[in-house]
Amino acid sequence: MQDLSDRISDALAKEEARAELFASYVRLALLIVLTTIALVNAPSLTFMANVFNFGALVVGYAYGLVVLARVRGPGYRPAMKYITSCSDVVLVFLLLFLYTKIEIPSVALKNYVYLVLFPLIALTAFRYDRMLTLVSGGLAVVLYLLLVAFLWFSKLVTLTPGGYERELFSADVTYVGQGTKVLILTVFVLLVSHLAQYSRKLFHKLVSDELSLRDQQEQTERELALASQVQAQFLPRALPAIPRLEMYGIVREGQFVGGDYYDFIPAAKDRLLVVSADVSGKGVPAALIMAEVRGSTQLLASMPIGLEDLLQRLNSMLYQSTEKKSFVTFCAAEIDISSGLLAYVNAGHPPPLLWSRGEVSSLVRGTIPLGICPTLPQLTTHTVSFPPGSMLVCCTDGVLEQRDLQGDEYGELRLREFVRTHAWQDAERMTQELLAEVKDFGGGRAAEDDMSVAVVKHRT
């Protein structure tokens, strides 16, 4: 919690520094506007009034450039915003005080320079500091009251009764006119202070949300990295040696790590169990379920049970140990070299493709995915011929669902055509080229889902 508070404070400090730089540029812009006004009015003013005006502008430019250089340099400190904001107000009233020395002292209370206070006070809202607005705005109100009191006690002006017409169109200074100016300035200061406080809260919330989102993103990235490590750890590290069987498998991680899994488990010296599975969901939870499926599959494969019994036991384990929203598509195929047969069961997995005697066929789905129901309905072991020269290609839905730039999926038809035209290749080369083709189909973009391919070829 303290770390989050410190990071928000740092962000506020940086934003205040940017706001101070912005205020410096606005200060110079106001000086340019005032210079233009002073030049336009110079012919109609007395010599002394012009001396005051242009002398104040020279001081203002010097002050503004010094502040700009300090703000842009490495020496900026947060406390400077109080110094610069209050100095702006003091300089305005210094000029108004000088106006009391000319022929008509009341001009000090009616000069347009007074209006410069409003944008100067408004700039304090960009620092997200209510106290800064109250201090600088309060100073402006106090100095104006002191200016009025100075002129009144010095007998330079006389406060008279009367309405706005007398205040505006004569040299007289009225109670209602000056009271209204003080009231407007006070209300403006309070409104800007409220805006500064509201802006600070809003900025605090935005920064807090951004930091939280960034932390969540970093946590997700760490989780995906961990999931990738778990996934890689449980994939086959060495391929079993089965006479006349050539095999190769790979998992290509997508944008979001999932729970793809393949395995080659020797059942006997002439038999091989090929497994391809995909856990629903992403990240560490899916990877952990995949690890559980792998461990259970290898344990059950060592027992003298059939494929149907293997899937039923896996289903019971997943149904009892995982949430009902989690499920696993699973396909298991047992290749018997001595008999030239392939027996398989499929639980909601994309149907593997079988290349045999120049034809490509699909090993159709058999039942629902694992972990959804207590038992698997219509679970049946299918047996097909797997003579020399045949090839089995298993993949997860990440391959089939890869989309091109137009949104079309790679699909089973393209996969069947690829298998038909590349069946002469060895298992490893074919797997690598399949994934390369799917990546090119997607325009070279990273896939959102993992892609898993397992290939077994019966050499002649």
Predicted confidence (pLDDT) per residue in 249-296, tens digit: 998 876 666 678 899 999 878 899 999 999 887 777 777 788 888 889
Residue ranges of the domains in the chain?
2-213, 234-458
When pLDDT is averaged across residues 70-95 and rounded to a whole number, the result is 79
Strands 451-458 and 245-252: antiparallel
pLDDT at 1 over 50: no
The mean pLDDT of 218-235, rounded to a whole number, is 71
Q: Which residue has the tokens 């005051």?
A: 52
Residue count (the chain): 460
Whether the CB-CB separation of 280 and 293 falls below 8 Å is answered with no
Q: How confident is the model at residue 155 (pLDDT cuts 50, 70, 90)?
A: confident
User: pLDDT tens digits for 168-195?
Assistant: 777 788 888 888 899 999 999 999 999 9
Helices 80-99 and 47-72: crossing angle in degrees, nearest 10, is 180
Residue 413 phi, psi dihedral angles, 5° rounding: -65, -45
What CA–CA distance (Å, rounded) separates 309 from 316?
Answer: 11
Residue 2 pLDDT level (bands cut at 50, 70, 90): very low
User: Among positive and negative, which fits the CA dihedral 41, 45, 51, 56?
Assistant: negative
**The CATH number of domain 234-458, selected from 3.40.50.300, 3.60.15.10, 3.10.20.30, 3.60.40.10:** 3.60.40.10
Q: Please say whether the beta carbons of 318 and 371 come within 8 A.
A: yes
Distance separating alpha carbons of residues 272 and 458, to the nearest angstrom: 11
Q: Are 261 and 294 in contact (CB under 8 A)?
A: yes
